[in-house]
Amino acid sequence: MLRLYLLFASIYLLQGITEVSFLNVYLRNVLSFQPIQIGQILFLGGLWFVVLKPLIGFIADFWSKLNKRWVLAFGLVCSATGWQVIANAQSWQAMTLGVSLKVIAVAILDVLIDGMIVIASNSKNRSFIQSLVYGCRFGGAMLFSLWASGRIGESAAAFIQIYYLFSLFSLLVLVPVVIYREHGGGNDLPGRKKEDLTAVGAEKVTLREKFGQLANPGFGLLLLLLFLYTFGADTATHFEPVIAERFGGDFLGGIIFWLYAGIVSGILTFPLLRLKLPVKTLFVISLFGWCLAEISCLGIARWNGALIYFWGGFFNAYSSIALLTVAVAMCKIRGVETFAFAFAISIKNLMDNSGVLIGGYLMETVGITWLFVISALCGLFPFLVLHKIDFRDI
């Protein structure tokens, strides 16, 4: 199990560090790309995530001989190559290729590692595993944001150095992948109980019957909720370069640190409030809180930037956990759990990518003020469907 924990920690640490890439700042302030071009690059590159995640989930569900170690290694090579391409790209075509490669890597690592965590976790180690992976991810992001913030500026050299480090770290993570063992074409994870396997064998369900289970009102409402939750215009991608111009890279890195501090605080406090309040109530509070934090960004200054970003991260963590809780509960569909969850989340990812593109067009047509107003109003769209979802069993 030690090798398995090392693998989990390494992958999540890589994801946390590479989340703080300041790629939007690099594209806008160094390469002088326009907001629409930035939106197009990130949208087209992100489409791979939407396509590959449910596909990989389907393969993981139905191909028992899938060699996870080789697939993880392929994902890490894609990550290393993608960051190399990004570091050397000068055109939007080359940048789209680099972003595509790193997104393909994230899709592969996300689905496989999350599936392995589900199988490996039990009543004794579940809390430890969650603390390990989220601690590595958000801890890595917080520390790296502080380290990198003093180095970014108008010069391309600092950004290129960061992206080369990302590429090198992706290759270093191959070490825990190599020492992770698979047996007999299966995996190194703890096996399911014998009686569970017997039950699965006794209940033979055809592929058509499995996918037929997705055609139910509950799953449709989940997809609609995910669509409405992520529908709108992305502001961070287009506003952070403006912050870097106004206040400098140190300030931007500092508030991103507090953003992740807010996320960690939300993750830690959500289970405690969950004992007193239902998921629906927490979700509603988080939606209003996030909208307030979003519109407050228009008045951001040196004295309040950390506070705004902290509460933005805090309420974003609450809404994300609540939404994830709903998704997990509504994707317990026999035989296609991994595919159903991956497909549902891919809808969210599609709208997230669309938000970057929409934000780029709004930034150039109506300006930063209306961009934030529209984004804040879109944050209330989930209320259109919340009353139709039964939260009693969630």
Which pLDDT tens digit goes with each residue over 145-166? 888 877 776 578 889 999 999 9
Average pLDDT over residues 228-236: 92
- Count CA atoms within 13 Å of residue 206 on its CB side: 3
Asked whether the predicted pLDDT for residue 114 surpasses 50, the reply is yes
CB 3 within 8 Å of CB 116: no
Q: Give the dihedral of Cα atoms 134, 261, 313, 367; nearest 10 deg.
A: -120
CB 359 within 8 Å of CB 39: yes
Distance CA 262, CA 253 (A): 14
CB 50 within 8 Å of CB 350: yes
- Quick one: pLDDT at residue 267? 87
pTM: 0.82
Distance CA 96, CA 45 (A): 6
- Quick one: pLDDT at residue 394? 61
The pLDDT-based confidence of 380 (bands split at 50, 70, 90) is: very high
Residue ranges and CATH numbers for the domains of the chain are 2-182+212-381 (1.20.1250.20)
Q: Which tens digit of pLDDT belongs to each residue from 22-64?
A: 999 999 988 999 999 999 999 988 888 888 877 887 787 677 7
- Count CA atoms within 13 Å of residue 11 on its CB side: 29
Distance CA 161, CA 165 (A): 6
Distance CA 301, CA 304 (A): 6
Distance CA 109, CA 105 (A): 6
- Quick one: pLDDT at residue 206? 63
- Count CA atoms within 13 Å of residue 250 on its CB side: 2
CA dihedral for 85, 92, 27, 155, sign (positive or negative): positive
- Nearest C-alpha neighbor of 101 from the set 82, 115, 84, 119: 82
Amino acid at 101: L
Q: Which tens digit of pLDDT belongs to each residue from 269-280?
A: 888 888 899 889
CB 53 within 8 Å of CB 327: no
Asked whether the predicted pLDDT for residue 283 surpasses 70, the reply is yes
CB atoms within 10 A of CB 36: 17
- Quick one: pLDDT at residue 337? 61
- Quick one: pLDDT at residue 197? 40
- Count CA atoms within 13 Å of residue 142 on its CB side: 18
- Quick one: pLDDT at residue 184? 44
- Nearest C-alpha neighbor of 51 from the set 112, 104, 97, 113: 104
> Assign residue 142 a region: left if phi > 0, alpha if psi is -120 to 50, beta otherwise?
alpha
**CA 369 from chain center: how many Å?**
26
Distance CA 226, CA 381 (A): 10
- Quick one: pLDDT at residue 302? 94
CB 180 within 8 Å of CB 10: no
- Quick one: pLDDT at residue 47? 87
